[in-house]
Chains A and B, each alone.
Chain A
Amino acid sequence: GDSVTQMEGPVTLSEEAFLTINCTYTATGYPSLFWYVQYPGEGLQLLLKATKADDKGSNKGFEATYRKETTSFHLEKGSVQVSDSAVYFCALLNYGGSQGNLIFGKGTKLSVKP
Chain B
Amino acid sequence: NAGVTQTPKFQVLKTGQSMTLQCAQDMNHEYMSWYRQDPGMGLRLIHYSVGAGITDQGEVPNGYNVSRSTTEDFPLRLLSAAPSQTSVYFCASTGAGGTYNEQFFGPGTRLTVL
Give A contacts to B, CB under 8 Å: 32, 34, 36, 42-46, 49, 51-52, 89, 93, 95, 99-102, 104-107
Contact = CB atoms under 8 A, between A and B. Distances in A.
Nearest to A32: B100
A26 to B, nearest CB: 15
Interface string B23-58: 000000001010100001111110010100000101
Interface of B: 31, 33, 35, 40-45, 48, 50, 56, 58, 90, 92, 94, 96, 99-103, 105-108
A44 B105 contact: yes
Contacts of A100: 31, 48, 50, 94, 96, 101
A72 B100 CA distance: 18
Nearest to A38: B37
Contact of B103 (A93, A95, A105, A106): A93
Contacts of A105: 42
A106 B41 contact: yes
A104 B43 contact: yes
A42 B110 CA distance: 11
B50 A49 contact: no
Contacts of A42: 107-108
Contacts of B45: 101-102
A33 B44 CA distance: 17
Contacts of A101: 31, 33, 45, 48, 58, 94, 103
Please give me the 8 A-B residue pairs with the lowest Cβ-Cβ distance, nearest first. Answer: A106-B42, A51-B100, A32-B100, A104-B42, A44-B105, A104-B43, A43-B107, A100-B31
Given A89-B43, A104-B43, A106-B42, A43 B99 contact: no
A42 B6 CA distance: 13
A99 B56 contact: yes
B100 A89 contact: no
A85 to B, nearest CB: 17
Nearest to A98: B45
Given A100-B50, A104-B42, A106-B42, A51 B99 contact: yes
